[in-house]
Amino acid sequence: MKKGIIFALIGYAIWGFFPLFFKTLQAAPAFQIMAHRVVWSFLLMAAIIFFRREMKSLLAAVTWRIFGLYLIAGTLLAINWVTYVWAVNSGFVVEASLGYFINPLVSVLLGVIFLRERLRPVQWLLVILAAAGVTYLTISTGKLPWISLVLALSFGMYGLMKKITPLGSLKGLTLETAAVFLPALTFLIVEQVRGVGAFVNAGLGTTLLLAATGIVTAVPLIFFSAGTRLVPLTTIGLLQYVTPTAQFFLGVFVFKEPFSSDRIVGFIIIWIALILFTLENLIHNGSLRIRASAKTASPSDLKS
C-alpha closest to that of 94 among 107, 104, 84: 84
Evaluate whether residue 291 is within a structural domain.
Answer: no
d(CA 133, CA 248): 17
Q: For residues 278 and 169, give the distance between their C-alpha atoms in angstroms, rounded to a whole number.
A: 25
pLDDT higher than 70, residue 100:
yes
Residue 295 lies in a domain: no
Rg (CA), the chain: 21
> Tens digit of pLDDT for each residue in 196-214?
999 999 899 999 999 999 9
In whole angstroms, give the CA distance from residue 204 to residue 180: 26
Number of domains present in the structure of the chain: 1
- Mean pLDDT across 115-121: 82
- Which DSSP state fits 34? H
Question: Which residues in 34-70 are b (16+ Cβ under 10 Å) and which e?
Answer: bbbbbbbbbebbbebbeeeebbeebeeeeeeeeeebb
**Of 117 and 75, more confident:** 75
What's the confidence (pLDDT) of residue 302?
Answer: 46
**Strands annotated E in the chain:** none
- Asked if 127 contacts 105 with a C-beta cutoff of 8 angstroms, the reply is yes
Residue 2 pLDDT more than 80?
no
Q: Which residues contact 282 (CB under 8 A, 6 or more apart)?
A: 234, 238
pLDDT tens digits for range 250-270: 999 999 998 888 888 989 998
Amino acid letter, residue 150: V
Structural domain includes residue 294? no
Please, which pLDDT band fits residue 232 given cuts at 50, 70 and 90? low
How far from 198 is each of 31, 109, 215, CA to CA, in Å? 11, 39, 19
Residue 100 lies in a domain: yes
For 194-210, give the DSSP string.
TT---TTTT-HHHHHHH
Q: How far apart are CA 227 and CA 240, in angstroms?
A: 12
Give pLDDT tens digits for 139-164: 887 888 999 999 999 988 988 888 88
> What does the pLDDT average to over 113-126?
84
pTM of the model: 0.86
Residue 80 within any structural domain of the chain = yes
| Domain membership of residue 67 as a residue range | 2-286
**Residue 291: how many other CB atoms lie within 10 Å:** 10
pLDDT at 29: 95
Query: Mean of the per-residue pLDDT values for the chain?
Result: 87
Q: What percent of the chain lies above the pLDDT cut of 70?
A: 93
Which distant-in-sequence residues (6+ apart) come within 8 Å of 105 by Cβ? Answer: 126, 127, 130, 273, 274, 277
Rounded alpha-carbon distances, angstroms, from residue 77 to 86, 87, 158, 229 = 14, 15, 7, 23
Mean pLDDT of 118-128: 86
Asked if residue 292 is part of any domain, the answer here is no
